[in-house]
């Protein structure tokens, strides 16, 4: 969002945009309906003034009318006309003018009603000035109004909307001093305040206080505390609480949302069945939450089953329901089905929104189907749904991933021409596509444009740029850009370091890599799996196997589980160093940590065994590899054939003849088998 010049912090510093001075000698330029009394004096009816104020959409015109008749002998403002004008000004945020009218009412001896004072509090709340509402409240008796439970409730709600927790309890105590008993609405506000302030223990005590005072918690009370228990990961406790009362649909929805958030789909589905058993009808929100969670986990078949169940129960899906299904299908690459869902939505008269279209466009871009993504963009515009910055960023990113500079540029230009200002995501995607096309100078200029456009780059922007430079071997420039990051207020993260470490090890700049590792540790940035693997690979490549072993040990102590790539590096390093027994032990241990040896692990081990022990032992692992469904590649067959030929003393000419068959793996297998027989 771009604020117009001079619009920042308006609520705290600006003067009312409408000059407000009540005229003492008004000129009635308006022609309201009027009546004569029995003495022939003209007066304006209150109902006419109220009607005129209510129907006037232009606040300046309404105010001018109000001023013009304020001191007229034909009309004297009433509590109702003051209330109407104060409400209109409050909706516009003209709070200085509201205060002026309150003072005018006070001077004229017109008492402020409960409803009018609540209107003033709500206006301050809309304007984000709850503290000013509180100050006005402390003067309430000046305006001929007395505090009531309703007024306190609206004031507490205004403070809660701005998270002014420290003001809520004193006001609640003040309410008790005024001899006012809180009602369920009061308690619900306090419950929400305690929950938002992470005081769940206090919220539980408040529930008890409600019951003790004969104010039974309602659905809002229970929904509030259940929602926050789930938010803070206390789903089990929330479930236990639900068993103590008869829950409503919102309460079940809150609990189902908690399970879905934790990925516990089974428990969410059990709750759905429980609702049916207790004859509590799930609504569209219930089904949509479950569908969304199933889509995130990629369980499309169950998603379809839930959708069918929804139809059977007579619950019609809405835009969000269909969007969740489209998301799941798109993430699984089932784009034709996702497109069918969109067609079904349109045929059922359910209009897709920006999220629906953006979800589908995102899936198509992930699949690299940019033509279809553009087709959906056209359909989106044709159906009157205006693309937003997410739409354009997604398309630019899609073109960037495929290296299509022209496609990305067209979308960028369209976005600008339609008045949609780029955000940091759009800029970053554009920098990505420029880097993929080795247009680094233009990418650097675009960072300058971001600063000028008051949309400064973030760490992700620099990570994309640095990765582009590293991929093209521009190591020096990548390091310079890394040093410039803080000039733009950006702090490097672990992704930044991972990219630089990888390229530094590739160019054998071990000294600079070591400096970066020290920098990471000094900044207190935690290594992730990629960091450990990158450094381990670098250490193994330069022959520092012992240091690599220590690093993997540290990795495990830190609770980061090694992956196949980690163990492959060590197996390869052990095999090259002649530590074949260690390589064998490591390969055998892979299954214990739920990892399956792949062709890289087997190839490294087989080559090491062949060189350090004998071919017969190597053939054991070769057969095991084939039994596990991993077929040796050409490189491994070549190595084995050469090793066998060397063993039986065949001349180089025979080797050359054997190599003529390397393109056919079955023939190579026959060569190897024959050689084994000869040996």
Beta bridge partners of 34: 44
Domain-located, residue 105: yes
Domain-located, residue 642: yes
Residue 506 contacts by C-beta under 8 Å, 6 or more apart in sequence? none
Secondary structure letter of residue 633 according to DSSP? -
- Tally the domains of the chain: 2
d(CA 601, CA 589): 12
Q: Which CA distances in Å does 464 have to 400, 401, 490, 499, 660?
A: 11, 12, 13, 10, 45
Boundary-marking domain end, from 110, 139, 154: 110
d(CA 82, CA 100): 11
Give me the numbers of helices (H) and strands (E) for the chain, helices first please: 38, 2
pLDDT score, position 188: 92
d(CA 52, CA 42): 18
Domain-located, residue 115: no
Pairing of strands 42-44, 34-36: antiparallel
Boundary-marking domain end, from 85, 110, 135: 110
Domain of residue 637: give its range.
632-679
d(CA 612, CA 578): 6
Domain-located, residue 654: yes
Our CA dihedral for 178, 184, 188, 190, rounded to 10 degrees, sits at 20
Residue 452 contacts by C-beta under 8 Å, 6 or more apart in sequence? none
d(CA 311, CA 359): 23
pTM for this predicted structure? 0.70
pLDDT score, position 648: 61
Domain-located, residue 69: yes
pLDDT score, position 353: 92
User: In b/e form, how buried is each residue of 37-64, taking b as 16+ CB within 10 angstroms?
Assistant: eeeeeeebeeeebbebbeebeebeebbb
Domain-located, residue 373: no
| DSSP conformation letters of 105-149 | HHHTTPPPPHHHHHHHHHHHHHTT-HHHHHHHHTTGGGGT----H
Domain-located, residue 665: yes
Secondary structure letter of residue 93 according to DSSP? T
d(CA 445, CA 491): 20
**H/E run at residue 36:** strand 34-36
pLDDT score, position 650: 46
Q: Which CA distances in Å does 659 have to 48, 103, 478, 643?
A: 103, 101, 43, 13
Nearest 5°: phi and psi at 42? Answer: -85, 135
| End-to-end CA, the chain | 77
Taking a C-beta distance cutoff of 8 angstroms, is the pair 192, 200 a contact?
no
Domain-located, residue 576: no
pLDDT score, position 41: 53
Beta bridge partners of 669: none
Beta bridge partners of 295: none
Taking a C-beta distance cutoff of 8 angstroms, is the pair 388, 355 a contact?
no
Mean pLDDT split into 10-residue runs, the chain, 679 residues: 28 38 40 48 76 83 81 78 85 85 86 89 88 90 91 93 90 91 92 88 86 86 89 88 85 92 91 90 94 90 90 91 92 90 89 93 93 94 93 95 92 93 94 95 94 94 96 94 92 94 92 92 92 92 88 90 90 88 87 83 88 83 87 84 69 44 47 48
pLDDT score, position 74: 75
Boundary-marking domain end, from 110, 139, 163: 110
Give the pair of three-digit tokens for residue 325: 């299904």
Nearest 5°: phi and psi at 44? Answer: -100, 135
């Amino acid at each position: 969002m771009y604020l117009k010049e001079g619009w920042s912090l308006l609520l705290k510093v600006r003067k009312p945009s409408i000059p407000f001075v009540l005229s003492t000698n008004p000129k009635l330029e308006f022609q309201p309906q009027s009546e004569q009394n029995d003495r022939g004096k003209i007066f304006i009816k209150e109902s006419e003034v109220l009607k005129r104020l209510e129907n006037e959409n232009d606040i300046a015109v309404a105010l001018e009318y109000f001023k013009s008749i304020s001191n007229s002998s034909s009309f004297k403002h009433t509590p109702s006309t003051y209330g109407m004008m104060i409400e209109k000004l409050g909706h516009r945020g003209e709070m200085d003018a509201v205060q002026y009218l309150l003072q005018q009412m006070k001077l004229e001896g017109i008492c402020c009603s409960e409803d009018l004072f609540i209107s003033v509090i709500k206006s301050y709340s809309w304007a984000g000035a709850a503290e000013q509402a509180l100050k006005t409240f402390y003067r309430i008796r000046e305006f001929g109004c007395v505090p009531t439970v309703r007024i306190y409730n609206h004031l507490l709600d205004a403070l809660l909307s701005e998270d002014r927790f420290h003001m809520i309890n004193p006001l609640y105590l003040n309410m008790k001093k005024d001899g006012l008993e809180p009602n369920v609405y009061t308690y619900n506000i306090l419950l929400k305040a305690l929950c938002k302030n992470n005081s769940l223990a206090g919220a539980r005590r408040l529930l008890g206080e409600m019951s003790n005072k004969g104010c039974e918690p309602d659905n809002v009370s229970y929904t509030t505390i259940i929602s926050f228990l789930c938010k803070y990961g206390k789903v089990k406790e929330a479930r236990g609480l639900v068993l103590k009362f008869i829950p409503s649909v919102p309460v079940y929805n809150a609990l189902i949302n908690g399970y879905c958030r934790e990925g516990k789909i089974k428990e969410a589905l059990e709750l759905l069945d429980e609702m049916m058993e207790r004859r509590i009808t799930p609504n569209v929100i219930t089904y949509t939450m479950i569908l969304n969670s199933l889509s995130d986990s990629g369980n499309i078949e169950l998603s379809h089953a839930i959708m069918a169940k929804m139809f059977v129960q007579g619950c019609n899906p809405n835009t969000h329901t269909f969007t969740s299904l489209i998301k799941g299908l798109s993430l699984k690459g089932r784009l034709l089905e996702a497109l069918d869902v969109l067609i079904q939505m349109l045929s059922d008269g359910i209009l897709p929104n920006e999220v629906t279209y953006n979800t589908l466009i995102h899936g198509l871009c992930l699949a690299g189907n940019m033509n279809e993504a553009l087709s959906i963009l056209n359909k989106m515009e044709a159906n009157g749904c205006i693309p937003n910055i997410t739409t354009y960023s997604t398309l630019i990113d899609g073109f960037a991933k495929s290296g299509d500079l022209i496609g990305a540029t067209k979308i960028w230009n369209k976005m600008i021409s339609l008045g949609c200002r780029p955000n940091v995501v759009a800029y970053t995607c554009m920098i990505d596509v420029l880097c993929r096309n080795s247009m680094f100078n233009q990418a650097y200029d675009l960072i300058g444009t971001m600063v000028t456009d008051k949309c400064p780059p973030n760490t992700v922007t620099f990570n994309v740029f640095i990765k582009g430079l590293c991929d093209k071997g521009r190591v020096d420039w990548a390091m310079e850009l890394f040093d410039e990051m803080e000039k733009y207020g950006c702090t490097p993260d672990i992704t930044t370091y991972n990219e630089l470490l990888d390229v530094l090890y590739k160019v054998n700049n071990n000294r600079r890599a070591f400096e970066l590792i020290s920098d990471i540790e000094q900044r207190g940035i935690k290594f992730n799996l990629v960091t450990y693997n990158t450094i381990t690979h670098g250490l193994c490549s330069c022959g520092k196997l012992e240091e690599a072993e220590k690093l993997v040990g540290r990795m495990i102590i830190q609770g980061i589980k090694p992956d196949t790539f980690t163990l492959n590096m060590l197996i390869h390093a052990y095999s090259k160093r002649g530590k074949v027994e260690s390589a064998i032990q490591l390969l055998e241990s892979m299954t214990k940590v739920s990892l399956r040896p792949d062709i890289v692990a087997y190839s490294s081990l087989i080559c090491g065994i062949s060189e350090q022990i004998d071919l017969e032992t190597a053939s054991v692992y070769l057969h095991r590899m084939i039994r596990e469904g991993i077929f040796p590649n050409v490189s491994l067959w070549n190595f084995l054939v050469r090793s066998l030929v060397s063993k039986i003393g065949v001349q180089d000419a025979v080797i050359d003849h054997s190599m003529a068959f390397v393109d056919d793996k079955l023939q190579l297998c026959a060569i190897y088998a024959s050689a084994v027989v000869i040996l």
